[in-house]
Structure 1
Amino acid sequence: MGKDSFYIKLVRDNIIHNFNYIKMSTQKEIIAVVKANAYGHGLKEVVPILVDAGCTYFAVARESEAFEILSLNISKIKILIFETIENFSLLKNFKNLEMVVNSIEELQELIRIKVDPLQLHLKFDFGFARNGFTEKEIEVVKNIIINNNIHFQGAMTHFFSSNTEETISVQNKFLDSIEYIGKEYFNIIHSQNSAATLLGLGDGSTHVRCGISLLGMLDPGIYNNNIKRSWSLSGPIYDIKDFSSLNFIGYERIKNIPVENYHKVAKIKLGYGDGFSKKNTNILCHVNSKEFPIIHISMDTSFILVDDSIKTGDLVEVYRDFEKSNDFLKMDHYEYTTLINNRIPRVVIK
């Protein structure tokens, strides 16, 4: 980590607490979703923490993410890939990899080339407009399973709403479909995402499939004081200049920037090259328990209007208040945390 660098701090004990809380409150095993670099927390940092907590099942969106986990050389874990992989022989080479089957064509091809069905999860879609077997295809799926007498590792669906009535409706359709096909053909059944898990929805599942809640983030409108945040983005001020010596702040002329009540500008090493989008222009950050606006963002640097109380080396925290940041950016916190790329180091603390 370079001098005056920004970094993401991960609180290890909070992640472990969240895992234990969800496991105890649901009395179910957890499939930990760590896609998109563990929602910006850092996949290679988060997975070992969850393994220490007792997690043995992980899920990612893409095979490249699965290979990142494999590179950690952690034994006795399973990795489920949601998207179709490019080369099905990968499943034969890595027995701890599993894949979601998203279409009739995929299912037939996987049977034809004799991929171990205990590495496969069948996905059912009930209006989410993602991949998966539709209600009209359930009869075909049933016939394929029964005619070939195949027992799969799992059956799954995905809730497309945190609305209680819609979630229950999808869950009932899913369970009815599994019963119709024969639930004895599936070792595990999973549907519950973070929202449904914390709302107590998703009866009939054997496993819960959580991502953001394990990391201490909640879907909008859901509150649970037992879930502890684990992520923060911060770094020091590395330079401060008085406006009297400047014509520009970054690439912007000072006369074009609303600088009322300020006469100094501080620089931090965080920019859109790090995934800190220019949409953050004018967002408030925290320095010494006070709020100051970030008024210009370049590729490697951002500029903050500050007062005389701020000094070089003072710690700046961005996105301290997720709710305020969500309102300002018009997006959810797990969207902008995911944008912060690996130019920003992840530092694990207890």
Structure 2
Amino acid sequence: MASSNFIDYVKINCRSGHGGAGSLHFRREKHVPKGGPDGGDGGRGGHIILRGNNQHWTLLHLKYRKHIKADAGKGGEGGRRTGAEGEDVYLDVPLGTIARNAETNEIMAELTEEGQEIILLPGGRGGLGNTHFKTPTQQAPHYSQPGEEGQEAWIVLELKLLADVGLVGFPNAGKSTLLSVLSAARPEIADYPFTTLVPNLGVVAYRDYKSFVIADIPGIIEGASQGKGLGLRFLRHIERNSVLLFMIPASSEDIAAEYAILSNELVAFNPELADKTRVLAVTKIDLADDIELDRIKDCLPKNIPTVFISSVQQRGLGELKDLLWQTLNQPSATDE
């Protein structure tokens, strides 16, 4: 996925259609000089509808559609004929998209399932024709309703990637290398910080034709929750991952301290992330000898499952996949 094509934030102006006006009409036929009112109702205006589509991975297709307008409903006609409804506008978005009102920041919709549809802005109702206003004392009403105005708002669409496992670590922790080894994804890999500038997804094949999805999130640095480095731009993608895989290289001076920094940044961004299931992978063990690895084992953070891996030498990857699969499929407290 080219970095220039990964768009996870767009702001668009949406306007639903106006309702059609009700008809002011009287039945006039030969031999029926006073047929009475028969004006039909106006059609409703078109809706603006969000629809989940798993064929989309980014919001790129909406980046240049700044103004989106639905059609107005048609006016009613004589003979109690209702006007046609305005055509709805469907906005297909990737699963994991959230829609917010740009002014109030209120969440208006959240799409997590294929084919899920949510009316973002409803079209205006059509006006009633004069046939509805006939009474015993007012048998020829010269009145019909105008159509209801449509709604208009600036909408912010944010994509939060849906993945089973999210990779969390400082730049150059080996996240992209691990993703390239475990899956068919081909992220950019180089020996300098912030090689990964956009999230990458990869499907990891497991035993018996099973699989799970891993998301490589661009590296976090201390202060990311306050906007440093790549800042808040990609932290939101971590919110929807079922399991967080913390990755810290064996060359780190203090693995427990690095883990604490990463954990603090996530919790500062969203306190709910403190409750996410976590796994720790000590990476690049090919660069450490046995004595160094023994020292590391005595300094690991407590109460977190840990595995030692080398993506280059493909050591410990089977154990890592087993641990991730078991963690993803362990029964929750609500299931017991």
TM-score by length of 1: 0.25
Higher relative contact order (CA 8 A, sep 6+): 1
Structure number with larger C-alpha Rg: 2
Larger proportion of helix: 1
TM-score by length of 2: 0.26
